Amino acid sequence: MALQEIGRIALRDEGDWWVAYHARLDTMDGATEIGRIRMNLVKQDRMLKERFIVFIREAFNVACREALGLTPEYPKPPMPAPEHERGS
């Protein structure tokens, strides 16, 4: 079965928080929050930042299995946000 993109996990710096969303490929409009962690924690500890990303992926996997009966694959490495989605 060919891979089909179902969106992306987007991580955004929102003041005191690092927020994870499931978003469409082309926009953040209508994005669904998956989780959040205090920004100072992930800035201080690289390992915690990496573990948060793994946790968010696993949480998203569970949601996909429950909703679609499928576990997502992540064939692409993490990428920076498109310029139009970045904060100032």
Of 22-26, 50-54, 80-84, the one with minimum mean pLDDT is 80-84
Domain presence at residue 44 = yes
Tokens representing 66 are 């429950």
> Residue 78 in 3-state DSSP?
coil
pLDDT at 3 over 70: no
Residue 6 pLDDT > 90: no
68 inside domain:
yes
Does residue 40 sit within a domain? yes
Per-residue confidence (pLDDT) for residue 81, from 0 to 100: 77
The answer to whether position 88 is within a domain reads no
**Number of neighbouring beta carbons within 10 Å of residue 22:** 19
Domain count, the chain: 1
Q: Which domain holds residue 12?
A: 8-75
Tell me: pLDDT of 32 over 90. yes
pLDDT at 1 over 70: no
What pLDDT does 71 receive?
A: 82
What pLDDT, on the 0 to 100 scale, is given for residue 2?
Answer: 67
